[in-house]
Chains A and B, each alone.
Chain A
């Protein structure tokens, strides 16, 4: 059951990601990204991280992607024109992507004994467990991160402010 769901939503995730790249119209790409985000949330849920799944849907699919579509709607962006691509992409891009893929594969293969412990549907991390770790053991990093986000918000406000 869990495995079937994993394959369905994993496939949906990959298909969404490919569609995101292949579509010409920005709104279609944005919608594909929503599909990717939401199927990721289902994958988190399958791994037992229920709070993370809900947060993924609320924050990414619900808030950030709404802003994406909002911007596309406001700018009234039309379909993109296909080009043959830049030379830099051919020279640096493809070897770079291949190298990254190789490094990632190497690392995953090397550590596959430790990584293999994650099971589908085997356990559940409740919000209680998560908050205990977050607010007791990792309180300082958590608060420092929130200060970092606050600084980013202040920066955005300062940039968006009109000069008088």
Chain B
């Protein structure tokens, strides 16, 4: 069926707008989730004053950051100082465009639950993440402050190192699927519910843990948050930033967390597929059936965000040499071993 290019364009723009707004909202509420949960872990309440359960807190924080004075320290290298937060945030937001949130449902020839169905979706995600390193690297360099420089050096070295283990841990999944398209990767896991998810049925639990650990390092989160270790570097690479520029780094960090959760969900936990497979009877109308996969997707991503906060409230920080040693000497060989084991198993099964 041939659709008019204008309808296609309009629907796509609408889709992009909706997804971006939802993503930014979830970024704001992830911050609240973190503050509430860490509060409870540390036996205090977290924000409670603004609205019921502190639900309006993110709005007020956003407004506050927006209205704050935007300070430009002396002797910063201006073009890059301004460019860095833009790179960081845009790279964090672009990746959402290839994520499938639900079953492939076409309305007037436009896929409702995915912005762009790319053949090389997984590589697009890896590529955009690898560009995101520049936001961190340039912010530290252009700020003309030693804390920022040290923080950004640590962060970019850490991100480049853990990207290897992260990329290699995904190869097992790609081998099982035989495709880099995210829809194919989810579809192969959607057949028997929980049992066909890559982490269980695909025997990729080692890869899953490698991915999880590297993802913590990629997003610079505790226990790998050396780039902003507040006890030694005040705030790391964004020390000199204020107002919206600081907010952009902040949003980029949380958007990256969400993205990593989405990718883990898609690759290891079956994406939008229900854990019960086809055991549950199909109830409700077509609308419910279309939205149910989205619900499962959101639940799984939420699980990852919860895990992030839980780990942050529990674990102390790594030492820098331990961090590097762990990445290069333990995770990387383990990831390679996982690739070899997976390919041998697949070859044995195919023979």
Contact = CB atoms under 8 A, between A and B. Distances in A.
A124 B179 CA distance: 15
Task: Report whether over half of chain A's contact residues are helix, strand or loop; otherwise say mixed.
Answer: helix
B6 to A, nearest CB: 15
Interface string A110-152: 0000000000000010110000000000000000000000000
Contacts of B126: 54, 58, 62
B133 A66 contact: yes
Contacts of B130: 57-58, 61-63, 66
Contacts of A38: 131
B123 A66 contact: no
B305 interface: no
Nearest to A69: B137
A38 B127 CA distance: 10
B137 A70 contact: yes
A62 B133 contact: yes
Contact of A58 (B119, B123, B138, B180): B123
A104 interface: no
Contacts of A70: 137, 153, 156-157
A34 B120 contact: no
Nearest to B80: A27
A6 interface: no
B195 interface: no
Interface in B155-175: 156-157, 160, 163
Contacts of B179: 127
A66 B134 contact: yes
Contacts of A34: 134
Contacts of A127: 119-120, 179-180
Interface in A27-79: 27, 31, 34, 38, 50-51, 54-55, 57-58, 61-63, 66-67, 69-70, 73-74
A158 to B, nearest CB: 17
A69 B131 CA distance: 12
Interface in B281-311: none
B119 to A, nearest CB: 6
A58 B160 CA distance: 11
B153 A74 contact: yes
B233 interface: no
Contacts of A126: 119
Given A50-B119, A69-B134, A62 B127 contact: yes
B346 to A, nearest CB: 14
Contact of B141 (A27, A50, A66): A27
Contact of B156 (A57, A58, A66): A66
B137 A73 contact: yes
B247 interface: no
A66 B140 CA distance: 14
A54 B123 contact: yes
A67 B157 CA distance: 9
Given A62-B127, A73-B152, A124-B119, 12 more contacts: A27-B80, A34-B134, A50-B119, A50-B120, A54-B127, A61-B127, A62-B130, A62-B163, A73-B153, A74-B153, A127-B120, A127-B179
11 contacts: A27-B77, A50-B119, A50-B120, A51-B123, A57-B128, A58-B123, A70-B157, A73-B140, A73-B141, A73-B152, A73-B153
Pairs of residues from A and B, 8 with the lowest C-beta to C-beta distance, nearest first? A62-B130, A54-B123, A57-B127, A73-B141, A58-B127, A54-B120, A50-B120, A66-B133
